[in-house]
Structure 1
Amino acid sequence: MNEVSILITLATVHFIALMSPGPDFALVVQNATRFGRQTGIYIALGLSLGILTHAIFSVTGVSYIVHQHPTLFALLKGAGGSYLLYLGLGALFVTWKHWRVPSASIVADNAMMLANKRLAFCRGFMTNLLNPKALVFFISLMSSLVPVGMSTVGKSAALIIIWGLSFTWFAMLAWLLTRPAMQSGLRRISRYIDMLCGVVFTLLGATILYQLVMINFVMT
């Protein structure tokens, strides 16, 4: 298989994975709906750079070393699970606190939370970077589709494709969710979106931490 075929296959597999619902998707939906297009775009940028970081780590072998080192991988899983749990419980708390408050008032009260471009970017970046499933996915993706002997140009092209597809997908999602016709409708149900995303983040974080505790329990 030549490098062009490899890159096409890589792009196809990665794009299919991007469309699968997960914490990245939920983060864009939740925050673009509540805080607007600019916040959604900066979260998309953060997510895409987190994905690029995982891809670079996989190509250079750093991710493989982390995955093969039980202590390092356990620390990553603990940090990732804790962060997702923090996002989930935070979303649920805000939803409960403002349940009887009009959605427009909640947006105004919480606008400073993610209106800041840096905060939006950091939330996107950390959500992906600390996701242990992303690390495992890219180890599998890169090791199976990017041969060790691939040229530097080919590997660089692979990284650019992965970042470009990631940013385009999440930015397009943020743009679609914040179109005026859709935004007005989504704002009315934003509390339910927050609640659903909070449940998703909480369950994902709790599951990761539970698995980590059980693995350590079995090993001891």
Structure 2
Amino acid sequence: MISLTQVVAFGGVVMLGAMSPWPDFAVVVRRSAVSGRGYGMAAAAGISVGVFAWVVAAATGIAALLAVSAMAFTVVKVVGAAYLLYLGVKALRAALRKGGTPDLGLPDPGRKNSWAAFTEGLLTNALNPKAALFFVALVPQFVSAGAPLGDTLMLSLIALAGTVVWFLLVANVVGALRRVFARSAVRRAVDGLTGAALIALGVKLAVTTRS
């Protein structure tokens, strides 16, 4: 049975991991700024589901395949890097487009529903092998192989809750300032900066090794 001390420690480490400048942060910020807080929250939910899945995978040994299998790691790395580059290029193209101030009642024309934002968040996290390696190193410190299903589920829910809290906070703060972000110059700056960040993160991921 996991103790309260372990729960607090695990939740704290997960929160610190969520606050790291990973692609997840850039996706939530751009989605909230461009499409509104609701879409940012949907992206945050997708990221949190990805984190939940990685904790389960780490606790059951599935995620460890990325740490020991060069082929598995390379496949996820290449696909994840390609997806980040895709998102980055789309953001840069949006930054280069000319246009007036968008209607705040409409979502980003490139992403027309919350499901698309949720999927974007989920894929950004699920296709990041660095997230897998993070949890492969972290989870065994709290549960051993063959631990009760309840312990695994508890850690997964803690990770999901911590990630949700952080990224919902980010989405709501950015969303509250959306009228500022809706200005054409600011909006294009956000697209340009997040696009450049996603491309840089994609390139960095592409050259990442397991060590």
With structure 2 as the length reference, what TM-score do the two structures score? 0.89
Secondary structure at the counterpart of residue 145 of structure 2 = coil
2: CA distance between counterparts of 1:103 and 1:48?
31
1:41 Cα deviation after fit: 1.3
Select the residue among 178, 182, 197 that pairs with 1:183.
178
Structure 2 runs not aligned, ≥5 long: none
Residue 59 (structure 1) aligned with residue 59 (structure 2): yes
1:102 Cα deviation after fit: 2.4
Select the residue among 177, 198, 201 that pairs with 1:201.
198
Question: Which protein has the larger Cα radius of gyration, Structure 1 or Structure 2?
Answer: 1
AA at the equivalent of 1:63 = A
Structure 1 runs not aligned, ≥5 long: 216-220
AA at the equivalent of 2:100 = P
Over the residues paired in the alignment, what is the CA RMSD in angstroms? Answer: 2.2
Residues 102-160 of structure 1: per-residue CA shift (max 9 Å, x gap): 2427x789733223121111111000000111111111111223333644323221111
Do the aligned residues in 1 keep the contact of 2:111 with 2:117 (CA within 8 Å)?
A: yes
Do the aligned residues in 2 keep the contact of 1:103 with 1:191 (CA within 8 Å)?
A: no
- Equivalent in the alignment of 2:144: 147
- Equivalent in the alignment of 1:104: 102
- Equivalent in the alignment of 1:218: none
The structure-2 alpha-carbon separation of the partners of 1:133 and 1:211, relative to structure 1 and needing over 3 Å to count, comes to closer
With structure 1 as the length reference, what TM-score do the two structures score? 0.86
Do the aligned residues in 1 keep the contact of 2:2 with 2:151 (CA within 8 Å)?
A: no
2: CA distance between counterparts of 1:164 and 1:2?
17
- Equivalent in the alignment of 1:13: 13
Residues 183-212 of structure 1: per-residue CA shift (max 9 Å, x gap): 222222121111111111101112222447
1: CA distance between counterparts of 2:129 and 2:202?
11
